[in-house]
């Protein structure tokens, strides 16, 4: 009988201190959840905007096997990180951005005994007007499913309704849809009727005393004055959010979805 596969997904890592915090927490995560795979959203790792090669390598060496991203991956000047040979099989960006941009929208992660697909897609509501996320997955589902029925989608989006509609649309066709981008963990984790796990947003791994990772005073300025304001990362205590998924290795259906905060 095939055993179940466990995946720990770490929510948007914001800043270098949060990267170090994740590295420190991985042994405890492994003890507590015994994951086959650890995947993290790294779109804000480098001072809140994207990631660089040293930070990605630091996470890889610590045990992160897959990395997803989002709109802030494009803020970095050196986008070569998306084509770095040591990272290209594990680091993805939303697939529904134009194809000519570097990087890709899905990849396969393997251990000696298991294989999963991770897919990164971005929503349209209150975000960039890129290719339809629904069409993107419809067009790529057959090649992905031909290699793995265990499919984890990081849906990077602003609107809860769009993320729930996306999960409903692909219920039973993917193992789980994990929302990212808002940096606020939602309490709506659920296994849908046909077996897909969903959480609207996994939250943030970043500074506790902040406005979604940003320094509180600079965030207040931004909202009160309505003028562009230099992005300033908050300091202080870090907290990690995420989810642990348990997936049936044969059917790809989600058996359990559990929120993580530590």
Q: Which positions are annotated as active-site residues?
A: 72
Query: According to CB under 5 A, which residues from 169 to 228 bind Fe ion?
Result: 181
Hey, how many other C-beta atoms are within 10 angstroms of the C-beta on 128? Answer: 12
Hey, how many other C-beta atoms are within 10 angstroms of the C-beta on 143? Answer: 10
Nearer to Fe ion by Cβ, of 157 and 252: the residue is: 157
Binding mask 14-53 for Fe ion (x = CB under 5 A): -----------------------------xx---------
Question: By CB under 5 A, is residue 154 in contact with Fe ion?
Answer: no
CB of 182 to Fe ion, least distance (A): 8
Question: By CB under 5 A, is residue 123 in contact with Fe ion?
Answer: no
CB of 1 to Fe ion, least distance (A): 39
Residue 156 CA to residue 124 CA, distance in Å, equals 9
Residue 91 CA to residue 136 CA, distance in Å, equals 18
Question: By CB under 5 A, is residue 122 in contact with Fe ion?
Answer: no
CB of 110 to Fe ion, least distance (A): 27
Q: 155: closest CA among 121, 125, 186, 184?
A: 121
HSE (side-chain half, CA atoms, 13 Å) at 238: 20
Question: By CB under 5 A, is residue 70 in contact with Fe ion?
Answer: yes
Burial 152-162 (b: 16+ CB within 10 A, else e): bbbbbbbbeeb
Q: Which of 4-12, 45-53, 95-103, 225-233 is the region at the interface with Fe ion (rule: CB under 5 A)? A: 4-12
Q: Which residues bind Fe ion (CB under 5 A)?
A: 12, 43-44, 70-71, 181
């Amino acid at each position: 009988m095939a055993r179940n596969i466990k995946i720990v997904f770490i929510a948007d890592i914001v800043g270098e201190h949060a990267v170090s915090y994740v590295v420190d927490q991985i042994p405890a995560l492994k003890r507590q959840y015994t994951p086959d795979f650890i995947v993290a959203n790294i779109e804000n790792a480098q001072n809140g905007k994207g990631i660089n090669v040293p930070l990605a390598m630091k996470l890889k060496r610590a045990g992160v096997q897959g990395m997803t991203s989002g709109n802030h991956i494009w803020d970095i000047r050196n986008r070569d990180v998306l084509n770095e040979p040591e990272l290209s099989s594990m680091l993805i960006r939303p697939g529904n951005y134009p194809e000519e941009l570097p990087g890709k929208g899905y990849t396969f992660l393997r251990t000696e005994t298991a294989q999963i697909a991770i897919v990164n897609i971005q929503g349209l509501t209150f975000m960039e007007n890129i290719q339809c996320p629904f069409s993107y997955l419809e067009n790529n589902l057959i090649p992905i499913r031909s290699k793995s029925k265990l499919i984890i989608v990081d849906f990077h989006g602003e609107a809860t309704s769009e993320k729930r509609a996306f999960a409903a649309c692909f219920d039973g066709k993917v193992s789980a849809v994990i929302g990212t981008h808002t940096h606020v963990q939602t309490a709506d984790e659920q296994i849908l009727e046909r077996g897909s796990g969903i959480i609207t947003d996994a939250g943030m791994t970043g500074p506790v005393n902040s406005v979604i990772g940003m320094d509180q005073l600079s965030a207040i300025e931004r909202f009160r004055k309505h003028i562009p304001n230099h992005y300033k990362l908050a300091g202080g205590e870090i907290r990690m959010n995420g989810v642990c998924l348990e997936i049936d290795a044969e059917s790809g259906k989600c058996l359990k979805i559990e929120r993580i905060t530590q």
